[in-house]
Structure 1
Amino acid sequence: MSEGSSVKKIAIVGPESTGKSTISAQLADHYDTVWVPEYAREYCAALTNPCTWEDEINMFRGQLELEKQYLPKANKILICDTTFITVKIWSDHMFGESPQEVVDQLPKHPYDLYLLMNIDLPWQEDPLRDFPHMREHFMEVWHKELKALDATYHLISGSEHERLKNAIGEINGFLYQ
């Protein structure tokens, strides 16, 4: 098991219904490590009212806490099924701005590599997904947010099998450069 400081953090990000959870599990299996699930998914499933500003802050804090819990269990790399950048993106869209706490933490909580899942997979209905007709918009937002962070990222496209192959290729290129 690796020391927390030597673990490389790989973020799997992108718009809704782009296979982030699926590929996170596949990559964790391939690299014999753990993956951090998306905290917001379970949190939102338990909500009985529309998501509020405080809920967004809770999801931000919850995602960071989950990563902290999984980091010591990681084997050289930690696969993160999304990041709290999602909180910024959703807050900007739903409320017109982001919690300052989230904005302040973005540059202080980098990932070593981001894999941005493309919107070329068919939309999968899910009660926790809201914007099937805004995938292009949110893809542009993801590119903008990652560029604003000066993040190292690669677009991952193709069928589920091709995505996994492409993601492994990008991770291997990063790890063994």
Structure 2
Amino acid sequence: MNTAATQWRRGLVVGKFCPLHRGHMLVIDSALAACDEVIVISYTKPEFAGCGRALREAWLRALYPQVRVLVLDDTSLAALQGGATAVRVPHNDAPDAEQRDFCGWLCLDVLGVTVDAVFTSEDYGDGFARALSAYFAARRGPGAAVEHVCVDRARAQVAVSGTAIRADPHAMRALMHPLVYASFVRKVCLLGGESSGKTTLAAALALELNSVWAPEFGRELWIEKDGALVFADMLAIGRTQLAREQALLPHATRWLVCDTSPLTTLFYSDAMFGHADPALRDLAAQPYDSTLLCAPDFAFVQDGTRRDEGFRQRQHAWYVAELTRRGLPFTLVQGTPAQRLAQACARLAAT
């Protein structure tokens, strides 16, 4: 609810939001400034890759918790109808009249409300407002006309195109909120036994990609506790590692480099305690877009926190077996640091 002086009681914004960008946000923000309540409806048929219903809803709810959000596809719409499919989401190429009646039906029959204003940045807004006025009048009797508020039609404030963003979201990242851009960042996971050059490669790869990397929390905690880890630390390590990745995604560029994953923590839990928390096993199934396994092909370096060469070989063999068992493709990187970096970059460029 907007506590400032407002012009309308309830405003409506409708869009595909594929993806949600700063132009859309300007329209929603304008509605929030002018209305006591704002409804945002999103649907598209067909869906656009990387902009699925659940993701669009997550963006809107995270950025606009004060807005009444309705994000639909045929499955969710059928659920709202008790499993029936009497009304389905219109195709994007459906006539304007069908799209407008659908929005009117959503307002009255799904949300149980009418709106006083519709906010767009398009020429169709005037016709949309007139159609909603007629739809509401036909169903509920004459009332005040729905007004159209056009926001930045000339794209003078935000020069943006959803098509251009979908074509290269990384080049257009400035036109998206960091939370939205984070959804387009892919994650590369680096695995390897102790003293296999994993952390060195992670830092170098992030620098090469002009991105950021998530350091290995488990190693930090091991040092902090002088190796005296307890069983409960294992799950905490896995959760913290994933939380770090999530926090860094909005700051990455194309790729977030992850120095280890909960799969490593699972290995240490089994090695140190003979078992693992089921919740940690679930975390270890966390998917990554690419996995690099560092080969133990240079002399073992003891830094005071590591086991020995035999343990390194055992850990490497476990990674190979476990990744294979899970059907997860991985790339073995080996050789000098420069060679490993070149192999990693080539793998990501091909992914």
TM-score, structure 2 as length reference: 0.47
Distance of aligned partners of 1:140 and 1:105 in 2 relative to their CA distance in 1, 3 Å threshold: same
Q: CA deviation at 1:138?
A: 1.2
Amino acid across the alignment from 1:151: L
Superposition misfits of 4+ residues, deviation over 3 angstroms: none
Give the secondary structure class of the aligned counterpart of 1:90.
helix
Aligned match of 1:106 in 284, 290, 305? Answer: 284
Contact 1:112 1:152 in 2 (8 A): no
Number of aligned positions between the proteins: 173
Structure 1 match to 2:331: 154
Deviations 1:25-76 (A, max 9, x none): 1111111000110011211111046211011122111111111111111111
Name the SS for the 1:161 alignment partner: helix
Query: What is the aligned partner in structure 2 of residue 81 from structure 1?
Result: 259
- Identify the match of residue 236 of structure 2 among 22, 36, 58: 58
1:39 aligns to 2:244 (yes or no): no
RMSD of aligned residue pairs (Cα, Å): 1.4
Q: Which residue number corresponds to residue 26 of structure 1?
A: 204
The amino acid that maps onto 2:339 is: E
Contact in 2 for aligned 1:113/1:151 (Cα 8 Å): no
Specify which of 155, 170, 177 is matched with residue 347 of structure 2: 170
CA distance in 2, matches of 1:95, 1:7: 35
Return the structure number with greater relative CO, CA threshold 8 A, min gap 6. Answer: 1
Would you say the 8 A contact 1:146–1:153 is kept in 2? yes
The match for 1:68 among 246, 249, 253 is 246
For residue 50 of structure 1, give the secondary structure of its aligned residue in structure 2: coil
The separation in 2 between residues aligned to 1:121 and 1:92, in whole angstroms, is 26
Secondary structure in 1 matching 2:350: helix
Determine helix, strand or coil for the equivalent of 2:288.
Answer: coil
1:4 and 2:4 matched:
no
Query: Which stretch of structure 1 is more off in the superposition, 114-123 or 40-49?
Result: 40-49
Amino acid at match of 2:197: G
TM-score, normalization by structure 1: 0.91
- Percent sequence identity over aligned pairs: 31
Corresponding residue of 1:129: 306
In structure 2, the gaps of 5 or more residues are 1-172
Moved more, 130-139 or 35-44: 130-139
| Aligned counterparts of 2:187 and 2:326: Cα–Cα separation in 1 | 15
For 2:14, the equivalent position in structure 1 comes to: none
Compare CA radii of gyration and give the structure with the larger one. 2
Q: Which has the higher helix share?
A: 1
SS in 2 for 1:138: helix
Please report how far the alpha carbon of residue 128 of structure 1 lies from its aligned counterpart in structure 2 after TM superposition: 2.1
